[in-house]
Amino acid sequence: MTQVKTTLKKPKEILTEIKKLLNPEGPKPLVIFDLDSTLFDVSPRLEKVLIDISMTNDFIQRFPEVNSYFRNIKTLRNDWGFIKVLKRAGVDHDHYELFDYLRHAWAIRFFSNEYIHHDVPYDGASLFVNRIHKLGIPIVYLTGRDVQRMELGSKEVLQKWDFPLNDKNATLVLKPQKEMDDAQFKCDWIKSLNLKEYSKIYLFENEPVNINLIKKELPEVEMVFFDSTHSGKEPPPSEINTLIHYLLDDES
């Protein structure tokens, strides 16, 4: 977990804050959720991708010397990318040819409609989102996944885990082009809203790069940092509201 000064909150406290914004006369809040590493633990997807690559004939023929290490692969919740995972499994991290091959093979599978079916929601995530949705508060899933490679699977996986979707109060927004920068795309999308329509906008997000840009450009957005894993490129802002799960019954 990230070692910065964050304000750890209980999911129930955040839900109560959001509920307080409900006013039958006035505008409603809008609650935006990122998907990867915010609502969904992607480490099972990462594990499946690496194991499947290692079982292809092409991989076995090219890298027979490392194949046995791939049997040791076990991803953890805070894994980011595959380098640490492979090091832990005993693979020599200076093997340039291997890592170059994996980068390509990993991206094809990891960013695909097929493999996102291995994602698993964090504890309590589906119920938490449903509780907000049932209050009549609009929900948006705003993701750096792109339409072409991941729209269909994203919808299927949200529905498989009973997240609200496909009504006017629960929508999925993906990048129209994969090349777009995640942080800029998310920031621009929020800017494109008529902000006056909402009493407050909440954004649940795990990636500090996204949080920091949106905080700078749109300071009125209320951020909730989901402390799972992130790229490590930037630290999250200090004293940001932080969650580590979504369990509403946890009184600890």
Residue ranges binding Mg ion (CB under 5 A): 34, 36-38, 206-207
Least gap, CB of 235 to Mg ion (angstroms): 16
CB nearer to Mg ion: pick between 91 and 214 = 214
CA 25 to chain centre: 34
In this structure, what are the phi and psi dihedrals at residue 121, rounded to the nearest 5 degrees? -65, 150
Q: Which residues of 93-121 are buried (b: 16+ CB within 10 A; e: fewer)?
A: eeeeebbebbeebbeebbbebebbebbeb
CB nearer to Mg ion: pick between 21 and 203 = 203
For residues 4 and 122, what is the distance between their CA atoms, to the nearest angstrom? Answer: 22
Least gap, CB of 35 to Mg ion (angstroms): 7
CB nearer to Mg ion: pick between 54 and 143 = 143
In this structure, what are the phi and psi dihedrals at residue 192, rounded to the nearest 5 degrees? -75, -10
CB nearer to Mg ion: pick between 38 and 75 = 38
CB nearer to Mg ion: pick between 63 and 225 = 225
Least gap, CB of 170 to Mg ion (angstroms): 19
Least gap, CB of 47 to Mg ion (angstroms): 18
Q: Which residues of 128-152 are buried (b: 16+ CB within 10 A; e: fewer)?
A: bbebbbebebbbbbbbbbbeebbbe
Least gap, CB of 207 to Mg ion (angstroms): 5
CB nearer to Mg ion: pick between 138 and 208 = 208
For residues 226 and 68, what is the distance between their CA atoms, to the nearest angstrom? Answer: 35
Least gap, CB of 31 to Mg ion (angstroms): 16
The residue sitting closest to Mg ion, measured at its beta carbon, is: 36
Cα dihedral value 156, 149, 52, 75, nearest 10: -70
